[in-house]
Amino acid sequence: MTRSWWGWGEVEQEVTAAEVGTLVARASALLPDHDFTPHDPPEPASLDLPAPRIDVPPRLQAIASTEATDRLSHARGKAFRDVVRNLQGDVGPLPDVVVRPRDDDEVAAVLEWCSGEEVAVVPYGGGSSVVGGVEPRFDGPAVTLDLGRLDRVLEVDATSRAARVQGGVLGPHLEDQLRPHGLTLRHFPQSFEFSTLGGWLATRAGGHFATLHTRIDDLTESMRVVTPAGVTETRRLPGSGAGPSPDRLFLGSEGTLGVITEAWVRLQQRPRWRRTASVTFASYERAVDATRAIAQSGLHPSNCRLLDPAEAFLNAGASTSGGVLVLGFESADHPVDDALDRALAITAEHGGEATTHQQGDAAGAAASWRSSFIRMPYQRDAMARRSMVVETFETACTWDRFPSLHAAVTAAAQEAAERVCGAAVVTCRFTHVYPDGPAPYYGVYAPGRWGSLVEQWDEVKASVSRAIVDHGGTITHHHAVGRDHRPWYDEQRPDAFAAALAAAKSVLDPAGVLNPGVLLDAGRRGTLGA
């Protein structure tokens, strides 16, 4: 399999002609005037890349690459704006060198070299960032530290159901190594195939499941982090009250405080019982109330995905006036029929009409949803090549604020996309639900103009980000901050915490070489260029 240098995933997994035909037919029915001519990605060899500005010291040459394709494929993540810039042959900031360390000592050696030379280092897992997290968008040379060779499960503790795992392992390879033990991390972000454990930890990733143990934060027992100031390793503990949690400082640090090379993670048995159901509603408001009641019931569904009418129509082909709630329960220990029945009783109280699936169907439906979920980024790329603006953004807020946030965000997206693109469809689904609030995830589909797609999307994104932050949401629930979310993150983050974080960075990364511009300005105290 060949990783695409310009778009999502693997070249061999690209959308088929038939898939494209369906997508284009569906879109052109809505947008008869749009120009769906496909634009091909440029040949990497045809692009004019600047020469590397730094020399790799001899001891690191064996793990360093300055090949054009390596530099290009590590230059940015996989956001819509990244893919479009690649398709346009728009070579932006590039790493000068890509290094692929084989162990912690080599990670430390890279950090030592870069700290000494004041060269920026961008830690890189699967490269699936959609927020500019791996793009060397700063002055001066850059080394991208690709952790892909640190890809092993080193130890499994079946008694405590935990494993010691290297940070650079991709999702499928991790699960392959756990399967013989009958265990699973059960953490399935949409990027699962092309993102790494270290990346999940560094960005506080959210898994596929709707409630309970789904965020990587809660699946973390301990971490090993190589910083320019030394290695920090916490002890494996199921819980502790010994001061502020050291792990929680590194969770979400997005490569700015150190490089996560290992973690002990909490595992689960593979589920044996599964039940799913779909519930349609005539009123979105009542559908939201039903979803909230389930989130507050203590039933802990594995899936509790409320699709609004537009999302239900686009992604499930369902025509409803109030949306569809997709419910699922799973357990490795006991049947989940009663839990599903109780959840459906709650939806019935709110006017929902349920269709349940049998256990076999349930596994099938779950697999089919998961596979379509995993196909989405490939489809986005196919449409981007055809001048469509296709992108998502996400947030979380408390239930009391959801109606006003949702109205404001939807209006902002619709208004901005219509202004810059002429037309737009805006969809919403909940990816996660908590007792105190949902994590809504929005999709925007609009006809763009080739050559202006990035600017068109950026205008929409600025507008929705403003609405999110003004209406009590977080600028990101699980996509991370990176460089793209900085203005709104800075607004959301208390100043005193920003100062504390910068101070912590100044001792862990005294030369300020780690991922400058992410979370903190490159120019601040303790960061490059200060």
Residues 379-418 that bind a copy of itself (CB under 8 A): 396-400
3-class DSSP state of 43? coil
Cβ proximity to a copy of itself, 10 vs 157, nearer residue = 157
Residue ranges in 234-253 that form contacts with a copy of itself under rule CB under 8 A: 234-246, 248-253
29, containing H or E segment: helix 17-30
Which 3-62 residues touch a copy of itself, going by CB under 8 A?
Answer: none
Instruction: Find the angle CA(389)-CA(391)-CA(394) to the nearest 5 degrees.
Output: 150
The footprint of a copy of itself on residues 439-468 (CB under 8 A) is 439
User: Binder to a copy of itself among 149, 152, 161, 375 (CB under 8 A)?
Assistant: 161
Q: E strand or H helix at 37, and its extent? A: none
**334 scored as a contact of a copy of itself (CB under 8 A):** yes
- Residue closer to a copy of itself by CB (options 30, 499) is 499
| Of the candidates 224, 247, 134, the residue with the CA atom closest to the CA atom of residue 514 | 134
Could you tell me which stretch among 3-11, 42-50, 116-124, 494-502 binds a copy of itself (CB under 8 A)? 494-502
Contact set for a copy of itself, span 162-201 (CB under 8 A): 162
Q: Which of residues 272-291 bind a copy of itself (CB under 8 A)?
A: none
Q: Which stretch binds a copy of itself (CB under 8 A): 100-108, 297-305, 385-393, 445-453?
A: 297-305
User: Which member of 375, 449, 493, 529 binds a copy of itself (CB under 8 A)?
Assistant: 493
Query: Own/partner pairs for 1-7, CB < 8 Å, 24+ apart?
Result: 3/73, 3/194, 5/41, 5/44, 5/69, 5/72, 5/73, 5/86, 6/41, 6/72, 6/83, 6/86, 6/87, 7/41, 7/78, 7/83, 7/86, 7/87, 7/378, 7/381, 7/384
Instruction: Pick between residue 112 and residue 415 the one whose CB is nearest to a copy of itself.
Output: 112
**C-beta of 95 vs 252, nearer to a copy of itself:** 252
Phi-psi region of 11 (alpha: psi -120 to 50; beta: other; left: phi over 0): alpha
Binder of a copy of itself out of 227, 280, 427, 465 (CB under 8 A): 227
How far is it, in rounded angstroms, from Cα 528 to Cα 530?
Answer: 6
Q: Which of 342, 370, 375, 466 binds a copy of itself (CB under 8 A)?
A: 342
Cα(185)–Cα(183) distance, rounded to whole angstroms?
Answer: 7
Residue 500 touching a copy of itself (CB under 8 A): yes
- Report residue 185 as tokens: 């991390």
Can you tell me which of 170, 178, 374, 481 binds a copy of itself, judged by CB under 8 A?
481
Return the residue of 56, 174, 475, 528 that touches a copy of itself, per CB under 8 A: 475
Token digits of residue 194: 């092309």
User: Of the two residues 28 and 474, which places its CB atom closer to a copy of itself in the complex?
Assistant: 474
Can you say how many angstroms the Cα of residue 207 is from the centroid of all Cα atoms in its chain? 9
Cβ atoms of 295 and 433 closer than 8 Å: yes
